[in-house]
Structure 1
Amino acid sequence: MASVGLFYVGAVLFVNGLLLLGFVEGKAAAIMNLFVGTLQVVTPTYLIFTANGDQDTIILAGGLYLFGFTYLYVGIGLLADLDTTGVGWFSLFVAIAALGFSFVNFTMLDDAPFGVIWLYWAVLWTLFFLLLGLKREALTRYTGWVTLIEAWVTAAIPGFLLLIGAWPTTGMTALVLGVIGVVMLLVLLPTLRPPRRQAAGSDSPAPVESPDSTPYTRT
């Protein structure tokens, strides 16, 4: 059941990546966030209630709420035209928690591939914190592309492979995922765009994007 939710996490990350890149309008993206956010709250609740005290199942289910609450927060924020600082600072909490879940996967659960995937998510939610919480507008395109790639690498593809019973839980899978992640972060560096500054000697200010120009605040 969790693999179904993971697959659709890929869908919402894909839409949100396109939102950050300016291809999807805010309110249109909000609907998918609400759909998947609801799924990612209902699913772990069901898994916990039916776990019969199995600690591993409860741990895995507990991590799903981080995604569910994020997407519900984003979806409601987009529809209500809320400031992004709330979801931005919540993203910092998610990023820190993701490091803990990564450690648990590497050690207690002996699942190195998902240990690496949780590191991916820690990086992504850190970018969300910087962009939405601290208003680092220069990170918009970079974060959009990272979101778009992670939609497939960390969610849609693993979720689908888990559904058909073909996900390889091996050290090689973890290594390949790690290499892809490092290459992704480095290759996308040229997409970082510093804010435009006022030219020297100019009487009028150069156009600078306000914090509210982040696609997550546009409706």
Structure 2
Amino acid sequence: MSSLALFFVGSVLLCNGLGLLGRLSPKDTAPINLFIGLTLVATVGVTALPVAGGSEAELSTVLGSAGFLLFAFTYLYVALNNFRDLPGQGLGWYCGWAVLVSLMLAWVNVDRFDDPKFGAIWLSWAVLFSAFFLVLAAGLDNLTVATGWLTVLQAFTTTTLPGALMLTGRWDDVPTGVVVAVQVAVVVVFVAVATVRRPVATLEVASA
């Protein structure tokens, strides 16, 4: 269930990235944010709610589900903003808080789950949430295009491809170094675009 949900998260990241690039309107992106947000809530319901005790394994299940809930609230927030044409400052501050949660979950994946590959991916998501904080809350419109490209690239490198590899049983075959190198390359592209591109004419309210 969690691998399947991760796979489909790529669709909403892609649409939100295209929204920032001016290819989709906010109302175009709102339905997919709603669909995926509700899917992630359902995923948490299946994996975490049945947990009743406080064993190490059950606590690990809850910690693993926390990431899905973090993104679920993000996408539901985006859907509400885009359906109602609301300003994005509140969403931006939520993304600022999500940066701290992402850093915590990166540490949890490395230290508790012994999973440096997803530790690297959570660090990449911390970069993504940071970019949305800077655009939506801090008003740095010059980062809009770069954040759009960052979101589109992460749609494939942090969700769609890892999810597909998990569903096909091939994720364990991917070296940690490859995952880290890809995420570093994505951040390099983000920085490069940020230094040479101007903001798009209209800031689309979309998020991670």
**Which position in structure 1 is the counterpart of 2:203?**
214
Tell me, in whole angstroms, the C-alpha distance in 1 between the residues paired with 2:107 and 2:191. Answer: 27
**Which position in structure 2 is the counterpart of 1:51?**
51
Contact 1:86-1:133 within 8 A present in 2 as well: yes
**Which position in structure 2 is the counterpart of 1:104?**
108
Of 111, 126, 149 in structure 2, the residue corresponding to residue 145 of structure 1 is: 149
Tell me, in whole angstroms, the C-alpha distance in 2 between the residues paired with 1:126 and 1:193. Answer: 17
DSSP 3-state at the match of 2:33: helix
**Which position in structure 2 is the counterpart of 1:205?**
none
TM-score (norm 2): 0.90
Q: CA deviation at 1:163?
A: 1.3
Q: CA deviation at 1:40?
A: 1.1
Structure richer in helix, relative to its length: 2
**Which position in structure 2 is the counterpart of 1:36?**
36
In the TM superposition, what whole-angstrom CA distance separates every residue of 1:128-167 from its partner, at most 9, and x where no partner exists?
1001111110001100000000011000111111112211
Q: CA deviation at 1:191?
A: 2.2
> Is residue 86 of structure 2 the alignment partner of residue 82 of structure 1?
yes
> Is residue 69 of structure 2 the alignment partner of residue 65 of structure 1?
yes
Contact 1:111-1:169 within 8 A present in 2 as well: no
**Which position in structure 1 is the counterpart of 2:27?**
27
Contact 2:145-2:197 within 8 A present in 1 as well: no
**Which position in structure 1 is the counterpart of 2:96?**
92
- Do the aligned partners of residues 17 and 209 (structure 1) sit closer, same or farther apart at CA in structure 2, a change above 3 Å counting? closer
Tell me, in whole angstroms, the C-alpha distance in 2 between the residues paired with 1:106 and 1:139. Answer: 30
- Greater shift, 41-50 or 80-89, is seen at 41-50
Tell me, in whole angstroms, the C-alpha distance in 1 between the residues paired with 2:205 and 2:159. Answer: 21
Q: Give the residue type in structure 2 aligned to 1:157.
A: L
Tell me, in whole angstroms, the C-alpha distance in 2 between the residues paired with 1:46 and 1:137. Answer: 39
Tell me, in whole angstroms, the C-alpha distance in 1 between the residues paired with 2:113 and 2:197. Answer: 43
Tell me, in whole angstroms, the C-alpha distance in 1 between the residues paired with 2:87 and 2:115. Answer: 37
DSSP 3-state at the match of 2:171: coil
Tell me, in whole angstroms, the C-alpha distance in 2 between the residues paired with 1:193 and 1:167. Answer: 34
**Which position in structure 2 is the counterpart of 1:181?**
183
Superposed CA RMSD in Å reads 2.0
**Which position in structure 2 is the counterpart of 1:203?**
none
Contact 1:88-1:131 within 8 A present in 2 as well: yes
Q: CA deviation at 1:215?
A: 1.1
**Which position in structure 2 is the counterpart of 1:113?**
117
Give structure 1 stretches of 5+ with no counterpart. Answer: 197-207
The answer to which structure, 1 or 2, has the higher relative contact order (CA under 8 A, 6+ apart) is 2
- Do the aligned partners of residues 23 and 72 (structure 1) sit closer, same or farther apart at CA in structure 2, a change above 3 Å counting? same
Contact 2:147-2:190 within 8 A present in 1 as well: no
Give structure 2 stretches of 5+ with no counterpart. Answer: none
DSSP 3-state at the match of 1:46: helix
Contact 1:7-1:155 within 8 A present in 2 as well: yes
Tell me, in whole angstroms, the C-alpha distance in 2 between the residues paired with 1:59 and 1:127. Answer: 24
DSSP 3-state at the match of 1:168: helix
